[in-house]
Structure 1
Amino acid sequence: MDTAERTELVTRYTEEVVTEAEIEALFEERDSPTAYIGYAPTGEMHIGHFTTMRKLADFIESGLDVTVLIADLHAHLDDAKSPFELLDSRSAYYEAAIEGMIEAAGADPDGIEFVRGTEYQLEDPYTMDLYRMLAETTLSRAQRAGSEVVRQSENPKLGGLVYTLMQSLDVAALDADIAYGGIDQRGIYMLAREQLPDFGYDKPACVFAPLLSGLSGGKMSASEETSKINLTDDDDAVAEKIEGAYCPAGETEGNGVLEYLQYLVFPVLEERGEEFVVERPEEYGGDLVYDDYDDLETDFVSGELHPADLKPAAAAGIAAVIDPVRERLLNQPELLEDAYPEKYA
């Protein structure tokens, strides 16, 4: 695989890349550049996380060395979303869920290395670098960088501000050439590109995933059940949520059903060499078969593909992707009970 092919794998299905030329240079300079993504183990993982797993599968295929940070300290620093006593159990759940999603996305989970924040964030040189960043970063700069990630208020807690600096520093601590995350992480990684060279580290290239719209319209909300599909939802629950989803005929803006297809279902089908089939009665034109998302969107916008026909096919496609992950998690009931006792115990 040449540099152009490796770069295409890393940059496809993304919202923004900073910069593609830097990623090309990394592949020219070394066989196995490094990449990292971090997840704070707070609420249950859902389909929005799954799209980033599909991207990690691309990273692995391109020859990147991939590290997944289970950012346990971050999970408490962001307004105590995870109590200290649940950090270990939720971290274990996140590792299991991520392994399941990586495998379902068509890659080998052994191709990633898991690291927990508490393994290195409590000792030198990390702590000394963090103190230096705290001394040199203004309150307004830290707030601006983390404005899309941590909870904001007129009187913010210090934990959320330290969170932002720690995430910037994680890039260097994990020796990552490429920092990967949702587009909401952009401010934090731009801070890393700005500040890390001052501490003797290279600035990272950055790859940003799009944030999916919620099924009920607008931004996906982790606290709104109808807004997202959970990894433990069965096929009936998936079908019910998709049936009630915001999907107006011909409209693509804020259409979570289309986004799930574009960023999750079609990439997985491509990996498997399969097509996406929309079943329709012969009186309405018969079945439609797609091997490319753009063709599906064109038909949807033109009116050739109606939401009533698309939704059942989308539900079946999404369920087929998450089914193996659901089975893996439900076969470990103690994992769910320990991590989320209020729901599963």
Structure 2
Amino acid sequence: MVAALVGFASTFAVVLTGLRAVGADQRQAASGLLAVCLAGAVVAVVLGLRHRVPISIAWSTPGAALLIAAGAPPGGFPAAVGAFLLCGALIVLAGLVPVLGRLISAIPAPVAGAMLAGVLLPLCLAPVRALAEVPAPAAPVIGVWLLVGRFATPWAVPAALAVAVPLVLLTGPAPAAGGADAAPALVWTTPVLDPATLVSVGLPLFLVTMAAQNVPGMAVLAQFGYHPPLRPVLVATGLATMAGAPAGGHAVNLAAISAALSAGPDAGPDPSRRWLASVTNGIGLGLLGLAAGPATALLLASPPVLVEAVAGLALLGALGGAITSATAEPDGREAAVVTFVVTAAGVGFLGVGAAFWGLLAGTVLTLLNRRRKPAAAPRA
């Protein structure tokens, strides 16, 4: 339950902000948050009961950050929903067709890390902007984040959010009429398969979800001695993503941080029974999803930069990990820097967003650098 609460409170603002950025209205954004919570809950319970392994499921936080960077597509939110469907279908294919999974793994780690860093950077700058634009509410939020993070890192963002809520209620505007309902509701959006949006949103969403969620999630489980079969995990999360897409859900995947909470010693002394923690985590996530309506109303009553500041605080750790991955290999740093610059610039071409072009530029430069490397001198 702690893992569910920390995971939800830390990044639900990122999800809602991302859905709003790609054109969702208030009810559609609340529906999308509810959809990923319910889809994640079902997959976590099914996989936990089936494999008796603490397989924690979450929404794609880096994917939501990608949506913020992408902005509203020309086809509006229906086109974004079509991209969510493509993401889910590609995740299923990655599970069913091993060669596709190997192709994703073949993307150079520095390039993948740099693309994620470029996506996250603008949002992680929001706390600084908030201090300049709305210092009165921003300063205590950031101060609490710093203080709590010194003693209990996982609770830093939830504590900052707990401070932000009363400040928003006291100083923010009254919720607009016709806004998000307090009662949970799934809102159907008919998908539109717009080619440009599929390439600029759907494909990068799939790559970010695989590289920043599913791969690290498997690594975390392996650290604790668990090796669940990857194929059913990918197929289940891909199908759940496809099922949740018409309701506004962007992506469901393996968790990383909550995976460590559910698979580690804190979940119990007997490793063979820790799967109960991941199942409880999933149930808790589904229950918290019922608060999607009030959470959206809170978002709408907040100064936009303050919401982005809380989201940015939640993503600073992910930004640090992405930068580390991008710069870890000296031979890949030039390609990583190019990927980062192109992605962070946020400029699209031919109707395709910056994340795709950053990934393409970094991959091409990596291949060129490999071709121009001198061959090793033969030994005497």
Shorter-chain TM-score tier:
under 0.3
**TM-score, normalised by the number of residues in structure 1:** 0.26
Q: Which structure has the highest helix share of the two?
A: 2
- Calculate the TM-score normalised by the size of structure 2: 0.24
Q: Larger strand proportion, structure 1 or 2?
A: 1
Structure with higher RCO (Cα < 8 A, 6+ apart): 2
